[in-house]
């Protein structure tokens, strides 16, 4: 009788799929032999860029479950399928676009089982699919989808319950994409990467102005970036603060980026002018837009005091894990302008102001007064 001596997993490679083999050692005739048993493959999580590449190459999945809180990516994928899979003359016969509230799972399953009339594929797009009823009626279809049908489900404002049998069937026989909102700290890199893909450059100040004032609403952000790109002259493809101010309406002198700069360099007059401008122009900058930014700066500044070589820009940038040496200049200035004890007190004050802004131990103080209190404490 074969006795099991031991087992372990060996990861062979990762090329979109992770493959592992179970190595079983067993005793046979006094010798050890090794059997390799293939384990089930686990699909890699599809990215937006990978999905778009496949679509442009004409590689389609039978079912697309596009879900999540960020509608931008869901709309981009479904719009591409709607506009490019079938020719305009084919769309009238073999493309159906419906809203989830108007249909149910059984109706979509019946429609998806039908063969195309005039085209290689049949396209069915269900918008606002989170409102569709009876997903259990689609389970049987998802287990064995019609190979000539492309079914797209745009499930917005949340994700489908991953315990549903339909969801599990789509993960096996189709494609599931979760569209997540970008975090605030991801915005600058997203802006730079998109502009770079359009052969457009941007400086750090302009990037910060756009990120801080538009935020993580990707539909609005991409619209504003495209507006900027169109406005650029052919001989100078670079976004500047003046262009941001002119085309997006963000002041290049009164914004959260300039407030941070004034505080870093202890420019009392400039900081108070910006705070006053914010109080009079609520859309220009709110307490909630710059509190996290200031907390992040002073938190990193506190770490900078413990850097082994804080007088060297590159060494300090590496210690703080900054993307470039450009960003370390603010921390070098902060080390000169703020003592470690004061930095710790500022962090405590930022927490206090954050709590007050949410109504904790603060029955009546306005946002403008809280901002003045904070800036006065930091600079004095």
Instruction: Please check whether residues 54 and 143 belong to one and the same domain.
Output: yes
Instruction: Give the Cα separation of 255 and 206 in Å (integer).
Output: 11
Same domain as 299, residue 235: no
**Confidence at residue 43, expressed as pLDDT on a 0 to 100 scale:** 60
Domain boundary among 202, 225, 248: 248
Same domain, 326 and 203: no
Q: Among 28, 21, 26, 32, which residue's Cα sits nearest to residue 6? A: 26
Task: Give the whole-angstrom CA distance, residue 128 versus residue 78.
Answer: 12
Q: Is 144 helix (H, G, I), strand (E, B) or coil?
A: coil
Q: Check whether residue 163 and residue 242 sit in a common domain.
A: no
Q: Which of 248, 266, 300 is a domain's end point?
A: 248
90 and 192 part of one domain: no
The closest alpha carbon to 62, from 45, 85, 44, 93, belongs to: 85
Question: Is pLDDT above 70 for 10?
Answer: no
Give residue 325's pLDDT band: very low, low, confident or very high (50, 70, 90).
low
Q: What is the pLDDT of residue 190?
A: 92
Across the range 147-169, mean pLDDT stands at: 94
280, 316: one domain: yes
Do 147 and 227 sit in the same domain of this protein? no
* Percent of the chain topping pLDDT 90: 55
Query: Residue 42: its pLDDT value, please?
Result: 53
Mean pLDDT on 352-363: 86
What is the model's pLDDT at position 192? 92
Domain boundary among 206, 223, 248: 248
Does 291 share its domain with 367?
yes
Would you state the pLDDT for residue 149? 97
Percent of residues, the chain, with pLDDT higher than 70: 87
Number of domains into which the chain is organized: 4
Residues 81-106: pLDDT tens digits? 999 999 999 999 999 999 999 999 99
Residue 11 pLDDT > 50, yes or no? no
**Pair 240, 360 in one domain:** no
> CATH number, domain at 288?
1.20.272.10
Kindly state whether residues 195 and 241 are assigned to the same domain. yes
Regarding whether 62 and 156 lie in a shared domain, the answer is yes
Nearest one of 58, 108, 55, 57 to 77, comparing CA atoms: 55
Question: Does residue 1 have a pLDDT over 50?
Answer: no
| Domain limits for position 263 | 256-379
More confident residue, 367 or 24: 367
Strand (E) or helix (H) holding 48: helix 48-56
Q: Which CATH number characterizes residue 102's domain?
A: 3.40.50.300
Q: What is this structure's pTM?
A: 0.65
CATH of the domain at 213: 1.10.8.60
209-235 tens-digit pLDDT: 888 778 788 998 999 999 999 989 888
Same structural domain for residues 151 and 203?
Answer: no
């Amino acid at each position: 009788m074969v006795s099991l001596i031991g087992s372990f997993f060996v990861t062979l490679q990762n090329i979109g799929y992770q493959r592992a083999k179970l190595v079983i050692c067993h005793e046979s005739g006094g010798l050890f032999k090794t059997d390799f048993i293939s384990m089930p493959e686990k699909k890699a999580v599809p990215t937006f860029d990978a999905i778009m590449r496949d679509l442009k190459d004409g590689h389609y999945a039978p079912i697309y479950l596009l879900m999540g809180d960020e509608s931008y990516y869901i709309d981009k994928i479904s719009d591409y399928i709607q506009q490019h899979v079938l020719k305009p003359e084919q769309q009238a016969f073999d493309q159906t676009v419906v809203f989830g509230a108007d249909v149910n799972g059984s109706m979509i399953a019946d429609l998806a089982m039908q063969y195309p009339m005039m085209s290689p594929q049949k396209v069915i797009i269900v918008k606002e699919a989170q409102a569709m009823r009876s997903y259990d009626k689609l389970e049987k279809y998802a287990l064995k989808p019609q190979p000539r049908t492309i079914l797209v489900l745009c499930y917005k404002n949340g994700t489908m319950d991953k315990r549903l049998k339909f969801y599990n069937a789509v993960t096996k026989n189709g494609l599931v994409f979760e569209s997540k909102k970008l975090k605030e700290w991801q915005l600058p890199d997203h802006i730079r990467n998109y502009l770079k893909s359009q052969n457009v450059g941007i400086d750090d100040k302009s990037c910060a102005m756009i990120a801080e004032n538009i935020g993580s609403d990707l539909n609005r952000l991409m619209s504003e970036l495209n507006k900027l790109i169109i406005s650029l002259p052919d001989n100078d493809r670079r976004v500047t603060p003046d262009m941001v101010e002119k085309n997006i309406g963000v002041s290049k002198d009164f914004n959260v980026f300039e407030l941070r700069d004034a505080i870093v360099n202890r420019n009392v007059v400039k900081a108070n002018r910006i705070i006053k401008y914010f109080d009079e122009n609520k859309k220009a900058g709110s307490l909630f837009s710059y509190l996290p930014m200031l907390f992040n700066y002073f938190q990193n500044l506190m770490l900078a005091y413990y850097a082994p070589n804080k007088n060297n820009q590159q060494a300090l940038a590496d210690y703080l894990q900054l993307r470039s040496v450009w960003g370390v200049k603010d921390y070098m200035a902060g080390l000169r302008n703020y003592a470690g004890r004061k930095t710790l007190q500022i962090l405590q004050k930022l927490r206090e102001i954050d709590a007050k802004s949410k109504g904790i131990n603060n029955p009546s103080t306005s946002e403008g007064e809280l901002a003045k209190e904070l800036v006065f404490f930091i600079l004095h």
